[in-house]
Amino acid sequence: MGGSLRTLCLSPQPSSRPRDALWRATSCGQPRGGRRRAARSRGLRVDKRIESEESGDEEGKKQAACLVTDLSQQSLRDEQNGENSTGEAETPVDMETISLDPEAEDVDLNHFRIGKIEGFEVLKKVKTLCLRQNLVKRIENLEQLQTLRELDLYDNQIRKIENLEALAELEILDISFNVLRQIEGLDRLTQLKKLFLVNNKISKIENLSNLQQLQMLELGSNRIRAIENIDTLTNLDSLFLGKNKITKLQNLDALANLSVLSIQSNRLTKIEGLQSLVNLRELYLSHNGIEVIEGLENNNKLTMLDIASNRIKKIENISHLTELQEFWMNDNLIESWSDLDELKGAKNLETVYLERNPLQKDPQYRRKIMLALPSVRQIDATFVRF
Domain boundaries, the chain: 1-14+30-207
Q: What number is the average pLDDT over the span 82-109?
A: 76
Examine the pLDDT at 84 and tell me if it is beyond 70: no
In tens, the pLDDT along 209-242 reads 999 999 999 999 999 999 999 999 999 999 999 9
DSSP reduced 3-state for 358: helix
Cβ(115)–Cβ(135) under 8 Å? Answer: yes
CATH class of this structure's domain 1-14+30-207: alpha beta
Give the ranges where the chain is alpha helix by DSSP (H). 58-64, 68-80, 365-372
Q: What number is the average pLDDT over the span 243-262?
A: 98
* Predicted pLDDT of residue 79: 45
Say if residue 22 is exposed, middle or buried (CB neighbours under 10 Å; 0-12, 13-18, 19+). Answer: middle
Examine the pLDDT at 67 and tell me if it is beyond 50: no
* Whole-angstrom distance, CA of residue 118 vs CA of residue 96: 9
C-alpha of 166 from chain center = 27
Query: Which DSSP helix (H) or strand (E) runs through 130?
Result: strand 128-130
Residues 6+ apart with CB under 8 A from 170: 148, 149, 150, 151, 164, 189, 191, 192
Q: What are the CA-CA distances from residue 87 to residues 13, 17, 41, 81, 82 (Å)?
A: 20, 11, 34, 11, 8
* Predicted pLDDT of residue 97: 83
* Whole-angstrom distance, CA of residue 167 vs CA of residue 187: 11
User: Residue 369 phi/psi, 5° resolution?
Assistant: -65, -45
Q: What number is the average pLDDT over the span 123-132?
A: 95
Round the average pLDDT of the chain to a whole number and report it.
83
Q: What number is the average pLDDT over the span 328-352?
A: 97
Please give the residue that has the higher pLDDT: either 97 or 80. Answer: 97
Least confident of 68-72, 181-185, 377-381: 68-72
In tens, the pLDDT along 129-158 reads 999 999 999 999 999 999 999 999 999 999
Q: What number is the average pLDDT over the span 245-273?
A: 98
Q: What number is the average pLDDT over the span 301-325?
A: 98
* Whole-angstrom distance, CA of residue 65 vs CA of residue 78: 17
Please give the residue that has the higher pLDDT: either 70 or 322. Answer: 322
CA angle 341, 343, 345 (to 5 degrees): 100
* Predicted pLDDT of residue 96: 80
Q: What number is the average pLDDT over the span 31-44?
A: 37
The identity of residue 126, as a single letter, is V
Q: What number is the average pLDDT over the span 63-72?
A: 39
125 DSSP assignment:
S
> What is the share, in percent, of the chain residues with pLDDT greater than 90?
74
DSSP reduced 3-state for 61: helix
Q: What number is the average pLDDT over the span 66-93?
A: 50
Q: What number is the average pLDDT over the span 171-192?
A: 97
Examine the pLDDT at 262 and tell me if it is beyond 50: yes
Q: What number is the average pLDDT over the span 186-204?
A: 97
How would residue 356 be classed by pLDDT, with cut points 50, 70 and 90? very high
Q: Taking the model in full, what pTM does it have?
A: 0.80
How would residue 28 be classed by pLDDT, with cut points 50, 70 and 90? low
Closest of 284, 204, 276, 281 to residue 242, by C-alpha: 284
How would residue 88 be classed by pLDDT, with cut points 50, 70 and 90? low
Residues 6+ apart with CB under 8 A from 379: 352, 353, 354, 366, 369, 370
